[in-house]
Amino acid sequence: MISSVNHALQTTWWLQVRPMPSLRHRDAFIQLLASATHILRDVDGSYVTGVQDVLTAIRKAPSLTEAVLSEVDRMMEELQSASRRVNDAAAETSGPVALFVPGFGVRAQELARGLQGMGAKVITLCHQIPFNPEDEDGIRRSSMLIVGDGVLNDPEAIPFISKIVMTSESDALVVLVVESCPLTFEQRRTATELGQVRILGLDDDIRNLRSLFRSRNRDIEIEGYRVLLLDDSRTDAYLARKFLTEEGLIVEHIQHPSQVLEALSRFRPDVLVTDFHMPEANGDVVASIIRQDRDATIPIIFLSRESNAEKQLLALSRGADGFVQKPLKRGAFIKALKSIISRSKGLESRMRRDPLTNLLNHGQFMASAATVLAEGPPSSLVLIDIDHFKSVNDTFGHPVGDRVLVGLAEVLTDSLRTDDYVGRLGGEEFGIVMVGANPSQAKMVVDRLRSIFTAIQFQSEDGTSFSCSFSAGVAILNVSVKEAHRAADEALYSAKRSGRDRVEIALLG
């Protein structure tokens, strides 16, 4: 429901109201916002609050001045982010699914069952039996295929898996589960015939598989993304636009290369799809112009009837990320688009996230806290520090310590709302921005998380069981991020001095 409402709001704002901010368009957008709040009246969360905030802001403004437009631009981008967070939360049950091909390893079967037990939809496909028609939709939506490394010894199964991967709209990632010993070079070469492969080694467990499944689903989700389409042919543009909007993308079409810089600044697209051969300037020239700006990292896709591979490569060297041949075929076009957006999102994620825990890194966490402070309701900032973590590393080794860090990260991500921000700030210190929660409410939540974490039994390499605890400090986020961080840090160390394994609220003033 939120996805459909968001698509209507984003399309209307960016393609109708924003380019022509007339009183008539303003009033029509107010009616649409009012309808949206009515449709979502029984839904809770930051998205609904955001819609109400936009409605209030536009109603209060007698006219759409540049200042008002800029403010609503910001609010609409926040709405888009909130919609994506809702999509991410629903992805494991309503979005892409995981496929499992049995018969090639016990460990692969255990991991597939574990993933299903965690709430993911897993479809089992036997390579000796034709597809069940009921499973075809799931195969098309699949983001991952799990199979044991025994498949590398079965020449009949490899084409079967390759066919499944090609049927998937997102080119499903093949997760090859190692059963007993590391793969040789020859085995890895055989694995390349399966498609895009990720090896799950002997040290990996269900948590690694779940993390991979989540990140894969997040990276291939494109609904609600904004596409700037540059094509001088109305006929070709109509077909491209049709394919894109059917995927839930918001599309703005321009016909002239000279319009591209203004459209990039105003529409703020996530990807540019451009014809290659145009009278005013070819697509490679447009790409070169865009890349002149240091921070211009937008993915660019060329559309062309050019079939010469050498010329395609030369064109790509000018700054594009993909090349799709005309006349457009929906499957190939959407696959290329998803692949390029996925790579772009994956790169962005690596820049923003801690590689061990997949939480926000220090810089991104602080930036998110600043955004909440500037744009959101009064909130709370929480600092968490694992008690006696140095002794865990000293006693059991750093690999075991890493498992403790990942364990806490999973408790936080599984238990908190999608609206909240969670980061690893360094070492054994974590941070949470609890949006809209006062310190007392935040303390109650973090105390519950503390109890969950303390109950976890970790195991060392020699099988010794042990548990850990954490201490936390909570402060209100209402003046500055620096001040909230300082106050939460003082509360954290007060909790440490008072015996650890507790949560304390910073004193006001």
DSSP per position, 12-72:
HIIIIITTS--HHHHHHHHHHHHHHHHHTTT--SHHHHHHHHHHHHHHH-SS--HHHHHHH
User: What's the start-to-end Cα distance of the chain, in Å?
Assistant: 44
- Three-class DSSP category at 474: strand
| Strand positions, DSSP E, 133-288 | 144-148, 173-177, 197-200, 226-230, 250-254, 271-275
In the chain, the amino acid numbered 20 is M
Calpha distance 10→353 (Å, rounded): 27
Calpha distance 458→401 (Å, rounded): 10
pLDDT tens by residue, 67-103: 999 899 889 888 887 776 666 555 444 556 899 999 9
Six token digits for residue 212: 């991979």
Return the pLDDT at 212: 84
Calpha distance 250→270 (Å, rounded): 10
> How many Cβ atoms sit within 10 Å of the Cβ of residue 385?
20
Taken in order 25, 31, 36, 37, is the CA torsion positive or negative? positive
Answer whether 450's CB lies under 8 Å from 382's CB: no
DSSP 201: -
- What Å distances lie between residue 498 and 446, 473, 492, 494, CA to CA? 17, 12, 10, 6
The rounded Cα 83 to chain-centroid distance in angstroms is: 11
- Domains of the chain (ranges; CATH) run 2-92 (no CATH), 96-220 (3.40.50.360), 226-350 (3.40.50.2300), 362-505 (3.30.70.270)
Whether the link from the prior residue into 327 is cis, omega within 30° of 0, is yes
Contacts of 107 (CB under 8 A, 6+ apart): 148, 177, 178, 179
Which run of H or E residues covers position 426?
strand 421-426
One digit per residue, the tens of pLDDT, for the chain of length 509 reads 677 688 778 878 887 888 888 888 899 899 999 988 888 887 767 888 889 999 999 999 888 999 999 899 889 888 887 776 666 555 444 556 899 999 999 999 999 988 887 667 888 988 766 666 667 777 877 889 999 999 999 988 888 888 888 888 767 889 999 998 999 999 999 999 998 899 999 888 887 888 788 777 776 667 778 899 999 998 999 999 999 998 888 999 999 999 999 999 888 888 999 999 898 998 889 998 998 886 578 889 999 887 777 777 877 777 778 888 888 888 888 878 887 877 776 666 677 888 888 899 999 999 999 989 987 778 999 999 999 999 999 999 998 999 999 999 989 987 888 778 999 999 999 999 999 889 999 999 999 899 999 988 898 888 889 999 999 999 999 889 999 999 999 999 999 999 999 999 998 65
